[in-house]
Amino acid sequence: MSALSAAEQVLREAGKALDYREISRLAIERGYWQSKGKTPWATVGAQLYSDINKRGAASRFIQSGPETFALNPAPASASTAPASRQGKKPQGKKLSFTAAAEKLLREHPGKAPVHYRDLTREALERDLLDTEGKTPEATMYAQILTEVRRYRARGEQPRFHTSKGGFISLTAWQGTGLAFDIEQHNRTIRTKLLQRLKTLHAKAFEELIGELLARIGFEEIEVTSYTKDGGIDVRGTLLVGDVIRTRMAVQAKKWKHNIQSDAVQKLRGSLSVHEQGLIITTSDFSKKSKEEASRPSATPVALMNGDQLVALLIEHQLLVTRESHDILLLPDTLTRP
């Protein structure tokens, strides 16, 4: 049986509404359904929610209360369901692995951690992923862990909270506590750092950009001018793994308003042969400037806004420092000798 068929059988035998955890327990105990995942109750709950959301009145189930489900006494016939749902597997919107994980966790009842294998299996069942890899579970877990490390390195709160054994939850579920307090403090620091960048003298700002480029892997760096706005401010070569060398011309703009497309065009016109462009600003970019930067058949121009600049400064500890403290914790149970 599928999880939903097993849930229907359990509810039919019970003759009343049940909590999704109880539905899962009874389905497994009675041999109606088996799950290789470590959070079978979460899978059952998510599939019940999903079936009701997708099929509406045609669903076999109704939600009768918080986290409680019952059989739909009069489900609509299949002929009344939308044509796209008749005789055709619904096609889900394709998402990245991390976006799919976040979507599924937000839909899971009870805010309980879910194992990454269960997240992957459900994402594949709902056609959320476009992958041809043979180990999607490993890809899911690796991408979540990579994102968590990257966010923490930049002093930002990750979307995900990872627990021992491969369980994943959303950091937003924490709500309060030490991690929440640290994030509130770091958010204030990020805001103050961006404000401080906007008060730097043009020369100091361009020198800071040169130092940052050195930290992230640029070589042969030359700060070319100390003007507020025009021309190329920094030139350098981005070196990746001692193999890939990309010559870059960088323009540093300490602006309050958004960068427009003409600034992108101006930088592109100043590039030398085999050179690519990069604009770094304390503000942001207009929609048209983003379109111009990625225009097909034109020399690429990369864009870095104020938030991205702050994240890199924090990651490489420029203008900020990190402090760590030892925290003492007691185990849930104490064992006597």
- Three state DSSP letters for 53-94: HHHHHHCCEEEEECCEEEECCCCCCHHHCCHHHCCCCCCCCC
Is a pLDDT exceeding 60 seen at residue 23?
yes
281 vs 234: CA distance, rounded Å: 13
pLDDT digits (tens, 9 = 90+) for 173-208: 876 666 667 778 888 999 999 999 999 988 899 889
pLDDT at residue number 98: 92
Chain centroid to Cα 139, Å, comes to 14
pLDDT digits (tens, 9 = 90+) for 111-161: 778 899 889 988 888 888 887 777 888 899 999 999 998 888 877 788 898
Averaged pLDDT score across all residues of the chain: 83
Pick the CATH number of 196-315 from 1.10.287.540, 3.40.1350.10, 3.50.50.60, 3.40.50.11260: 3.40.1350.10
Mean pLDDT of 104-114: 83
Is a pLDDT exceeding 50 seen at residue 87?
no
The one-letter amino acid code at 91 reads: Q
pLDDT digits (tens, 9 = 90+) for 201-230: 888 998 899 999 999 888 889 887 655 444
Contacts 24+ apart (CB under 8 A), 10-19: 11/61, 11/69, 11/70, 11/71, 12/71, 16/70, 17/64, 17/65, 17/68, 17/69, 17/70, 18/68, 18/69, 18/70, 19/67, 19/68
At 334, is the pLDDT very low, low, confident or very high (cuts 50, 70, 90)? low
Is a pLDDT exceeding 50 seen at residue 84?
no
At 93, is the pLDDT very low, low, confident or very high (cuts 50, 70, 90)? low
User: Regarding predicted confidence, which is higher, 183 or 84?
Assistant: 183
Query: Are 279 and 304 a contacting pair, CB within 8 Å?
Result: yes
Q: What are the residue boundaries of the structural domains of the chain, listed by start?
A: 3-85, 97-173, 196-315
pLDDT at residue number 335: 53
pLDDT digits (tens, 9 = 90+) for 234-256: 899 988 877 788 899 999 998 88
Is a pLDDT exceeding 60 seen at residue 42?
yes
90 vs 54: CA distance, rounded Å: 9
CATH class of segment(s) 97-173: mainly alpha
Mean pLDDT of 259-269: 93
H/E stretch holding 100 reads helix 97-107
Mean pLDDT: which of 48-62, 63-77, 139-153, 215-229 is highest? 139-153
User: Regarding predicted confidence, which is higher, 45 or 22?
Assistant: 22
pLDDT digits (tens, 9 = 90+) for 267-312: 999 888 889 999 999 999 999 999 999 998 889 899 999 999 999 9
At 94, is the pLDDT very low, low, confident or very high (cuts 50, 70, 90)? confident
Query: For 10-156, where are the E strands, in sequence order?
Result: 18-19, 61-65, 68-71, 114-115
200 vs 34: CA distance, rounded Å: 62
